[in-house]
Amino acid sequence: MCLAIPARIVELEGDKAVVDAMGNRFKAKTTLLENAKIGDLVLVHAGFAISKVEEEDARKTWNLIEELDSFQETDKKISG
Amino acid sequence: MLERICKANKLMDKACQTLGRDINVMEVCGTHTVSIFRSGIRSTLPKHLKLLSGPGCPVCVTDQGYIDLAIELAQRDDCILATYGDMIRVPGSDGSLETKNKNNVKVVLSAEDAIDLAKENPGKTVVFIAVGFETTTPATAVVVKEAAQAGLENFCVLCAHKLVLPAMEVLLSEKNDKIDAFLCPGHVSVIIGSKAYEPIAAKYRKPCVVAGFEPMQIIEGLAEICRQICEGQAEVNSIYDVAVTPQGNTIAQRIISDCFEVTDGWWRGIGKIPQSTLKLKSQYSKFDAYERFGLTEKPAEDKTGCRCGEVLCGLIEPFDCAMFGNKCTPQTPIGPCMVSSEGACAAWYKYGRKRKTS
């Protein structure tokens, strides 16, 4: 439940942002961050950005999520 | 990467030899538990390095009495319950939110969605089922403040937010002395900061290492624990520096302490832990569902024979419970550790069962 995913801020108005994670766009709030700006990579948990992250770390997590997705697809096929 | 894995394995082997007995590392967080299973890390570890799943899945530690209150509110025609999806299948004393009047239960992805629900349904009171550890708590605090500023009358929260540190301490102080070290949760630590574990490391002489959720982070976290064991150290160290600072997210901490005060709380399977649960401060009492509906959380007696409590404390493995895999499965869960995908029982059932029985 405490999983946060990295996403990039693509729109920002006050503390209301739209973020992009692997092509999925959703709303997130930046209330918990200082000086969030468009282009920042942030960890988003339950609709809130909780910290900034580096490009490399975000990429590693996205790759892992992609791997898990393909793993789960295979898992579903195997277990029917 | 292979080089890093070899280096980590050498440290693990050395620690097992140095100690001459099993090393028990508790991964506190449910997300670690799942990542460990999915990546197959467990099978690559030395035989004497054991991983125990701790009480870090909020769904698993939420007391039945709390679920009973949520179900009671879901029966009311004047209420809508807004909950994170993880909670709807958790059994209370009689049924779950999914089976009891689910028309009044809405799944939300964010606390903000609960506020929107309240604005869209002025004739009903929206009760937000506020569970979770420090990662999730700031969001609740933000929306309570928003509701107060907007004068939103038909919104309140049934708060059971919990703190990770008191639970870790209880495990060390009373229940068992089996735990040698903690692999500390990545995203809780983003909020509380790695320094927060220092009193535990110092008082109980246990290494506390913060790691992220990627397999390599977990392996290197375990290796750092083993290095400390070899060298007789018990320190806090974070290998998740990209997101975790020693101080944590101070804005989030401030918002939490503006809205909440710490009180005693009930943990499923563990019992009452002093100063472990958050309660809305008196200036926000009109958003407190306990106050608004005159509710008191009574711990429910678990009559099912479920041993989730012992699993959460690292005292037994899921397969030591007689109901595991037969009466209790992810399709027919009896205990919370089987309901939540991050629960130790569900993870063992999905990824470890075949290996154990073969």
B-facing residues of A in 28-67 (CB < 8 A) are 29, 31-34, 43, 45-48, 50-51, 53-54, 56-57, 60-61, 64
Average pLDDT, chain B: 90
Return the pLDDT at B23.
93
Cβ of B56 within 8 Å of Cβ of A54? The answer is no
Question: Does the beta carbon of B139 lie under 8 angstroms from any beta carbon of chain A?
Answer: yes
User: Taking CB atoms and an 8 Å limit, are B112 and A27 in contact across chains?
Assistant: yes
> b/e string for B217-233 if b means 16 or more Cβ within 10 A?
bbbbbbbbbbbbbbeee
Interface contact flag, B139 A46, Cβ < 8 Å: yes
Q: What is the value of ipTM here, to two decimals?
A: 0.84
- List chain B residues with CB under 8 Å of A56: 242
Mean pLDDT, range A6-30, rounded to an integer: 95
Instruction: Using the predicted structure, report yes or no on whether residue A79 has a pLDDT greater than 60.
Output: no
Q: Which residues of A touch B210 (CB under 8 A)?
A: none
Q: What is the CATH number of the domain that holds B193?
A: 3.40.50.11740
User: Pairing between strand A5-13 and A16-21?
Assistant: antiparallel
What tens digit of pLDDT does each residue of B293-329 get? 999 877 777 778 889 888 888 888 899 999 999 999 9
Quick check: B43 pLDDT over 90? no
Model confidence band, residue B283 (pLDDT cutoffs 50, 70, 90): very high
**Whether the predicted pLDDT of B90 surpasses 90:** no
For residue B119, is it within any domain? yes
Domain parsing of chain A, residue ranges:
5-71
pLDDT per position as a tens digit, B175-213 = 567 899 999 999 999 999 999 999 999 999 999 999 998
What dotted CATH number matches A5-71? Answer: 2.30.30.140
> What is the Cα–Cα distance from B84 to B266, expressed in whole angstroms?
20
Interface of B with A in 176-235 (CB under 8 A): 185-188, 190-191, 212-215
CB neighbours of B276 closer than 8 A, spacing ≥ 6?
B162, B163, B166, B167, B170, B262, B264, B265, B267
The two structure tokens encoding residue A70: 């393909």
Q: What is the pLDDT of residue B16?
A: 86
Answer whether residue B100 is part of any domain. yes
Question: Is the CB of B251 inside 8 Å of chain A's CB atoms?
Answer: yes
Whether residue A46 and residue B242 make contact (CB cut-off 8 A), yes or no, is no
In a domain, B313, yes or no: yes
Q: What is the mean pLDDT of residues B64-73?
A: 92
Q: What percent of chain B has pLDDT over 70?
A: 97
Higher per-residue pLDDT: A66 or B48: B48
Q: Which domain holds residue B214?
A: 1-353
Q: Is B37 on the interface with A (CB under 8 A)?
A: no
Write the residue in B30, B112, B244 that is nearest to A29 by C-beta: B112
Residues within 8 A of A (CB atoms), B 315-344 only: 340, 342
Q: How far apart are CA B90 and CA B295, in angstroms?
A: 20
Query: How far is B329 from B336, CA to CA, in rounded Å?
Result: 11
Among A29, A34, A43, the residue with its CB nearest the CB of B190 is: A43
Report d(CA B264, CA B278) in Å as an integer: 8
- With an 8 Å Cβ cutoff, is A72 touching chain B? no
Report the alpha-carbon distance of residue B333 to residue B327 in Å, rounded: 8
| Inside any domain, residue B358 | no
Structurally, chain B folds into a number of domains equal to 1
Instruction: Report d(CA A46, CA B322) in Å as an integer.
Output: 36
